[in-house]
């Protein structure tokens, strides 16, 4: 049965949320730091050593074109078609989100902000409990639309053929058999085989998350948001079928024993019926052990729709699903979420796979300040400023006054030297 807690207790949980990469102990941080140091010091030699140590693999680091073709041949044709549909929809959304350059003309000249793509990015595609070709698409497609010139990918040596097929579909030219923290280090600093990238994206285990945070902290590379366990918040009322809510509640839980689902509903009898259905579905789940463990963290709350909205914005969940009347109006009030799925027909897995939105989303309450992975994640804005000779009087005087107020005389002198030429 679902664990019901009070709204007050739920709000307290929401206020205390934080990203947990599983790397809070110093021992893991030290191990990751040592791995990064090895890769920086010994490059490919260290990769081979760590591949053998952690994955019992001693073959080539880079996947050949022939191996890519063989991988594609092993994947079911229906899966390949499904990946193509998903890719098409992600491309469509990404293109529509392409930012425009802005040029402002003033009395003194122009100020322009131009968007430029990061030149090379690295994708991490995990192995582990499940295989996620969809994540390869979610990371690669927006980067490609953004104009990234080169996309590379690291994945553990035992990568499923469908991971390699998804990468080939997305035009990834170079794929490396490297997993864990060593993959992150290789992409962040470069080795004889692996080129250095400007940004690393993609989920991973605790070691991968910790490695991403460490290399970013070194100023070596940018990363996407640290990824915590998957999570969903469902707001439901009596207008929705019990089976629909129960299935939605379990969907994210099968990812990971640390995953979490929260049901916020307007009626206690509905909650009880959903709880009974959840119990029934868990018994026949193919991932029963994982789901049962995740259920221990999950909970339910009974409250009004207004209170549900307040809680949702405080909880700032990765996924919010609205199975209630006037779901569109309710959605307008949800401002802290990775993605919002509107109406009982719109299940979260549509966003996970084929709708065109991205499933690399902020978790653990970070949706209060972080965004879903999108085309802007692979771009950077640069200002271009041009002051016309003889037209700078107003900004020159203002600049000199501010520089002198800050005690930066050489800044003021740089302006005066140019102003003098035009006086």
Q: Could you give the residue numbers annotated as active site?
A: 318-319
User: How far apart (Å, rounded) are the C-alpha atoms in residues 170 and 336?
Assistant: 31
CB 412 within 8 A of CB 403: yes
Can you list the positions of beta strands (E) in 108-168?
Answer: 109-117, 120-124, 150-155
Q: Is 182 left (phi over 0), alpha (psi -120 to 50) or beta?
A: alpha
CB 118 within 8 A of CB 379: yes
Other beta carbons within 10 Å of 57 = 18
Q: Is 80 exposed, middle or buried (0-12, 13-18, 19+ CB in 10 A)?
A: middle
Q: At what angle do helices 161-169 and 77-96 cross, to 10 degrees?
A: 40
CB 334 within 8 A of CB 309: yes
Q: How far is CA 112 from the centre of its chain?
A: 29
DSSP 3-state of 338: coil
Can you list the positions of beta strands (E) in 221-376?
Answer: 222-223, 231-236, 260-265, 299-302, 319-323, 339-342
User: How far apart (Å, rounded) are the C-alpha atoms in residues 220 and 216?
Assistant: 6
What are the Cα distances from residue 84, in Å, to 131, 168, 359? 17, 11, 16
Instruction: Single out the residue of 94, 136, 135 nearest to residue 117, CA to CA.
Output: 94
Query: What are the structure tokens assigned to 383, written together?
Result: 């200002």
């Amino acid at each position: 049965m679902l664990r019901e807690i009070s709204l007050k207790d739920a709000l307290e949980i929401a206020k205390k949320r934080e990203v947990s990469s599983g790397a809070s102990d110093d021992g893991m941080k030290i191990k990751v730091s040592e791995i990064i140091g090895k890769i920086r010091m010994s490059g490919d030699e260290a990769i081979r050593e760590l591949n053998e140590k952690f994955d019992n693999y001693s073959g080539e680091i880079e996947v050949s074109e022939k191996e890519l073709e063989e991988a594609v041949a092993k994947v079911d044709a229906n899966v390949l078609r499904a990946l193509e549909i998903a890719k098409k929809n992600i491309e469509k959304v990404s293109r529509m989100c392409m930012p425009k350059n802005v040029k402002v003309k003033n009395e003194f000249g122009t100020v322009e902000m131009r968007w430029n793509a990061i030149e090379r990015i690295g994708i991490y595609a995990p192995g582990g409990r499940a295989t996620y070709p969809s994540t390869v698409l979610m990371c690669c497609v927006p980067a490609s639309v953004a104009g990234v010139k080169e996309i590379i990918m690291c994945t553990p040596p035992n990568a499923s053929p469908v991971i390699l097929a998804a990468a080939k579909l997305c035009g990834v030219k170079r794929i490396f058999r490297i997993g864990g923290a060593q993959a992150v280090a290789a992409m962040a600093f470069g080795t004889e085989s692996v080129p250095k990238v400007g940004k690393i994206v993609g989920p991973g285990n605790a070691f991968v998350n910790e490695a991403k945070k460490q290399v970013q902290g070194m100023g070596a590379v940018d990363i996407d948001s640290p990824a915590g366990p998957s999570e969903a918040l469902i707001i439901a009322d009596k207008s929705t079928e019990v089976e629909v809510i129960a299935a939605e509640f379990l969907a994210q839980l099968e990812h990971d024993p640390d995953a979490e689902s929260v049901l916020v509903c307007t009626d206690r009898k509905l909650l009880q019926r959903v709880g009974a259905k959840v119990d029934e579905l868990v018994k026949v789940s193919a991932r029963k052990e994982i789901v049962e463990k995740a259920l221990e963290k999950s909970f339910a709350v009974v409250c009004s729709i207004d209170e549900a909205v307040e809680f949702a914005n405080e909880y700032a969940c990765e996924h919010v699903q609205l199975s209630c009347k006037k779901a569109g109006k309710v959605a307008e009030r949800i401002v802290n979420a990775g993605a919002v799925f509107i109406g009982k027909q719109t299940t979260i897995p549509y966003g996970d796979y084929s709708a065109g939105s991205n499933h690399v989303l902020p978790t653990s309450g970070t949706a209060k300040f972080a965004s879903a992975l999108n085309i802007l994640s692979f771009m950077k804005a640069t200002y271009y400023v041009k002051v016309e000779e003889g037209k700078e009087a107003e900004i020159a005087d203002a600049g000199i006054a501010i520089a002198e107020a800050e005690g930066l005389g050489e800044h003021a002198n740089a302006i005066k030297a140019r102003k003098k030429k035009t006086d």
